[in-house]
Chains A and B, each alone.
Chain A
Amino acid sequence: GDSVTQMEGPVTLSEEAFLTINCTYTATGYPSLFWYVQYPGEGLQLLLKATKADDKGSNKGFEATYRKETTSFHLEKGSVQVSDSAVYFCAPIRSGGSNYKLTFGKGTLLTVNP
């Protein structure tokens, strides 16, 4: 079945540091890839997505590139802020057929200190 492996947290950074959260996946067919973010006390929100190989998703200064050859979708941000403190989830979804569901990674807790 489909699966996703995320870098385990927690990750603690100082403000303005560079962030990378690794994500690799196994998925049947040709998946689309998503990053979701969960701020404290809230539900998950879509952060960014990529639907085909070499696509780069971006939002709020975060970026992730769909690397089919390495089955990866690593999340990066050049300069994190305290407000980026949250849990981040990588989620692939297979593209074949209509019976699709997201598969979520276990989440990576990011804490950014001033």
Chain B
Amino acid sequence: EIVLTQSPATLSLSPGERATLSCRASQSVSTYLAWYQQKPGQAPRLLISDASNRATGIPARFSGSGSGTDFTLTISSLEPEDFAVYYCQQGSDWLTFGGGTKVDIK
């Protein structure tokens, strides 16, 4: 099983600040890495696929980077609606998710 470790567990920031979320894989997943946003009571929403490919309708302030075992999701300037939980997910082997990073308001 490929284990994904997300850090930090919680990120406390203010609107307008830059958010940097990390996802580390226990072995290489190439670029088969996706990022999702989940708000309370809602299904996850795909933000990024293939490590850096923004999904349809996702604002340009969201960007993904990385390959192999180390990946980053960056939100360039936090909007009020961006405070949520973010998950990474690998698709190199059978799919697994990271434990999530909660971005909350400082």
- Asked whether A and B interact, the reply is no
Interface set of B (CB-CB < 8 Å, partner A): none
Interface residues of A (CB under 8 A from B): none
